[in-house]
Amino acid sequence: MDALAQLPLWTTWLRASERSETTVRLREYHVRRYLNSVPMETDPLDLEWIVGYLANPRWKAATRRSTRTSLRIWTTWLHRTGRILSDPLSLIPPARASISVPRPCPDAVIRKALLSSNTRLHAMIYLAAEAGLRRGEIAVVSRDDDINELTGNSLIVHGKGRRERTLPLTDTAAAAVKRQFDLVPPEIPWLFPSAGRYADTHLQPVRVGELVNDALPGRWTAHTLRHRFATEAYRSSLDLLLVQTLMGHSKPETTAMYVGLDTALARTVVDGISLVA
C-alpha cells in the first residue's frame, strides 16, 4: 500500500465528516510529516517505528498529543475501510493530558518582540496577545471578518468546532490588522495569504505558530500570548464566564487553566495570614 497516495482520499473523508479546513490541513500535515520520516525499507505502519516517532524527546506534550491524534484518525480510517487488517495505534495507550501552570508572556518580552518584527508579525502578535486568538484562528482571518462598529473594530473569529464568536479589538490590535490588510492585494481576502504550496489560501496555522515563536525569546510561545490575554482579561473583569466567552472555550475549567496568578493580590492575602505581628 502506498500510504502517501492514500492521503488525498483520507482528507476527502475528513472534509465529508464536517471537520473544518484548518483541522483537515493540520491532520494532513502531521501524517505527511510522519510518512516523510519513514525510510524506504520500513513499513510506515510498523508499531515500533510509530512509537519511536511519537517518543521524540524534543517535542512538547501538546505536540505529541496532537500528532498522535492525527495518526490515530488516519490508521483508524485505514483499518475501518479494509486497507489494513489491524490498527497499530489501538495498542498505544491514550496520551495523558498534563495540567500545566498558566504562563502569561510578560509585556516587556512582547514589546521587545514587536520592535524587531515586520507588519505581518505585528498583526499576529497583537491578535494573540490583545485578542487571545489561537494560531488557527489567526491564520483564517479574512476581510469579511473585520467589522467597523460605532464603538470600534470587532473581529468575527472562526474557532474550534466551527464555533464563531465576535470579539472587540483594542485600538492597537485593530490598527495592526489594518496595516497588514493594506499590504495585501485587495482581491485576496486573507489577512495572511500563503505563498507556498497552498498559494490560493491562507497561511497555515503551523506556520503562524512558527513565526510568532521565532519572534519570542526562550520558552515564550504564541500560546503564552493567549495566556497573557486570559490573565489580563480576568484581572480587568473578575468575570470568568466573560473571559471564557472571549477565549472561545466550551468549559470554564479550561479558561481557568489559562489565567495566571495575580501575584500582587496573592502576596497581600499571604501577608495577611502571617503569624508575625
CATH at 62 = 1.10.150.130
What are the backbone angles phi and psi of residue 155, rounded to the nearest 5°? -135, 130
148 in the same domain as 249:
yes
- 130 and 8, same structural domain? no
Quick one: how far is CA 163 from the chain centroid?
A: 15
Residues 118 and 239 in one domain: yes
pLDDT of residue 95: 64
> How far lies 263's CA from each of 107, 215, 259, 266, 268, in Å?
15, 27, 12, 5, 9
Amino acid at 96: R
Q: Name residue 201's amino acid.
A: T
Domain membership of residue 100 (yes or no) is no
Of 91, 124, 144, which one is at a domain's C-terminal end?
A: 91
Query: Which among 82, 78, 86 has a CA at the least distance from the CA of 35?
Result: 78
> Residue 162 corresponds to which cell in the numbers above?
466551527
Q: Is-contact 47 55, C-beta < 8 A?
A: no
* Longest pairwise C-alpha distance within the chain: 76
The pLDDT of residue 98 = 60
Q: In the prediction, which pLDDT does 92 show? A: 81
- Cα separation, 235 vs 268, in Å, equals 15
**Sequence letter at residue 25:** R
Torsion of CA 219, 223, 227, 233, to 10 degrees: 140
Q: Is residue 58 part of a domain?
A: yes
How many domains are contained in the chain?
2
* 267 belongs to a structural domain: no
**DSSP three-state, residue 154:** strand
The full length of the chain comes to 277
Report the distance separating Cα 237 and Cα 143, nearest Å: 30
pLDDT tens-place values along the chain, 277 residues long? 688 888 999 999 999 988 877 788 889 999 999 999 999 888 999 999 999 999 998 887 778 888 999 999 999 999 999 999 999 988 887 766 566 678 899 999 999 999 999 999 999 999 999 999 999 999 999 999 999 988 889 999 998 877 899 999 999 999 999 999 999 999 999 999 987 555 578 998 889 999 999 999 988 999 999 999 999 999 999 899 999 999 999 888 888 888 876 666 666 777 777 776 5
Question: Which helix (H) or strand (E) is 127 found in, with range?
Answer: helix 119-129
| Number of neighbouring beta carbons within 10 Å of residue 6 | 17
Residue among 207, 236, 81, 200 nearest 136 (CA): 207
**Domain membership of residue 127 as a residue range:** 107-261
Task: Give, in order, the Cα–Cα distances in Å from 265 to each of 99, 150, 225, 251, 269.
Answer: 23, 36, 22, 25, 6
pLDDT at position 151: 87
Among the candidates 91, 116, 142, a domain finishes at 91
- Report residue 200 as a C-alpha cell: 490560493
In a domain, 274, yes or no: no
Residue 43 shares a structural domain with residue 117: no
Cβ atoms of 227 and 258 closer than 8 Å = yes
